[in-house]
Chain A
């Protein structure tokens, strides 16, 4: 049944939701899906089209609307996984330098190369993680959400989120491939 109060009914309201969330949804999908960027953009667009069609069934706050969008996006990514198992093992994009906001410290050219190579390895490792684990990393680090925000979205205790994140990071570190592999 449609919500009694459907705050996204009007195009203006939905347009504002889109403006507030398009980059966030894009990054979320990028982290979950892994790329290439064309696929990520397609999924991002599809997320908003699906939300537009379903807007009458949504009622809630701005925060809830963001969670609703991420839920739609997550389902789309999972559907895409199922259809494209083979492609998941293919190489990802050439990472573009303008996709990164580097930390506020000086990088030598060598350090920059190392940074990028580390990221490449990390990205491939993340792609192989279960969606639930990827989602936690994406929310916490790529979207920069606080643990309490994630806890609300995923309806989990904050402590559980923190513990899970720590374990995932340890797992990634421990499984990091040797240089000569």
Chain B
């Protein structure tokens, strides 16, 4: 069925009809894209990382929102911070306390088609040889097998020149990352009261912290029930009892990190042992 009263046009009329069509993007679209990873302002507005923005765009994140947010909040905060104070030989404070133990995270609820990111199986799709080839530097290997963990994929992040290898156990996951130090620094925001311990790793000073950001129950509900594209504020607090540990150190032009998430039997000394055993 076609509309009535649409007389047959001449070719010039068809050209005119088509040339008159000038739709424009709606405000909703611009709001949606204002937090795209190429919008640096968005990162500054959020006080949150590009990588986290990517994470929040994730379809996977939509379904496993809580865990990944908590993970992302802790491990991946990216910012250019050339003025980070040098605490000691070779040590930058990569774990930076927030002003309090509460944090507000403004996010836009992601659309399904948006980037598949952190936490998705595709993210850790490489084997170590492939990751090394992409990275262009020699990967050090962590002897995870000594703790009965199985390698379950690696990811190369070319923004940060970083390879993240994932090892899994029945109860927890270990992420080992090696990042080439370039002109951009990375730090993780932690709670104001989080006790950061300075530890010795391979003859260098390193940092260790346990605990993590946990989303408030109301925010979990809000996230689960909000429509894609909606701008919402999530609230999280620093939970020292959260089963999560980070060990970081810098060595030979690389930043290394071991992160465990989940109920792990590994203690701080075990992480240091793993770090000392890296080859």
> Which residues of A line the B interface, CB within 8 A?
11-12, 14-15, 18, 22-23, 26-27, 30-31, 37, 41-42, 44-46, 48-49, 52-53, 56, 96, 98-103, 113-115, 117-122, 124, 137, 141-142, 144, 166, 169-170, 172-173, 176-181
A12, A100, A114: the one contacting B40 at CB < 8 Å is A12
> Which residues of B line the A interface, CB within 8 A?
1-11, 13-26, 28-29, 32-33, 36-40, 50, 57, 111, 113-115, 158
CA distance A179 to B29 in the complex (A): 37
Question: Does the CB pair A120–B11 fall under 8 Å?
Answer: no
Beyond A23-B25, A169-B11, is A179–B4 a contact (Cβ under 8 Å)?
A: yes
Most central of B7, B37, B38 by chain A CB within 10 Å: B38
Question: Does the CB pair B14–A173 fall under 8 Å?
Answer: yes
Question: Does the CB pair B39–A120 fall under 8 Å?
Answer: no
Question: Does the CB pair A119–B113 fall under 8 Å?
Answer: no
Beyond A101-B20, A113-B5, is A48–B26 a contact (Cβ under 8 Å)?
A: no
Question: Does the CB pair A181–B2 fall under 8 Å?
Answer: yes
Beyond A15-B39, A41-B29, A173-B10, is A100–B5 a contact (Cβ under 8 Å)?
A: no
A-B interface contact total, Cβ < 8 Å: 134
8 residue pairs of the A-B complex, CB under 8 angstroms, read A41-B28, A45-B114, A52-B38, A56-B158, A115-B17, A118-B17, A119-B21, A166-B11
Question: Does the CB pair A144–B19 fall under 8 Å?
Answer: yes
Residues of B contacting A121 with CB < 8 Å?
A: 2-3, 6
B7, B19, B21: the one contacting A99 at CB < 8 Å is B21
Question: Does the CB pair B2–A11 fall under 8 Å?
Answer: no
Closest partner residue, chain A, to B112 (CB atom): A42
B2, B13, B50: the one contacting A124 at CB < 8 Å is B2
Residues of A contacting B39 with CB < 8 Å?
A: 11, 15
Q: What is the minimal beta-carbon distance from A103 to any residue of chain B, in angstroms?
A: 6
Question: Does the CB pair A52–B25 fall under 8 Å?
Answer: no
B14, B22, B28: the one contacting A169 at CB < 8 Å is B14
Question: Does the CB pair A42–B113 fall under 8 Å?
Answer: yes
A11, A56, A142, A176: the one contacting B8 at CB < 8 Å is A176
CA distance A161 to B13 in the complex (A): 20
A15, A142, A176: the one contacting B38 at CB < 8 Å is A15
Beyond A41-B25, A99-B21, is A117–B36 a contact (Cβ under 8 Å)?
A: no
CA distance A120 to B6 in the complex (A): 9
Question: Does the CB pair B10–A26 fall under 8 Å?
Answer: no
Beyond A23-B25, A41-B26, A173-B8, is A122–B37 a contact (Cβ under 8 Å)?
A: no
CA distance A45 to B110 in the complex (A): 12
Residues of B contacting A46 with CB < 8 Å?
A: 113-114
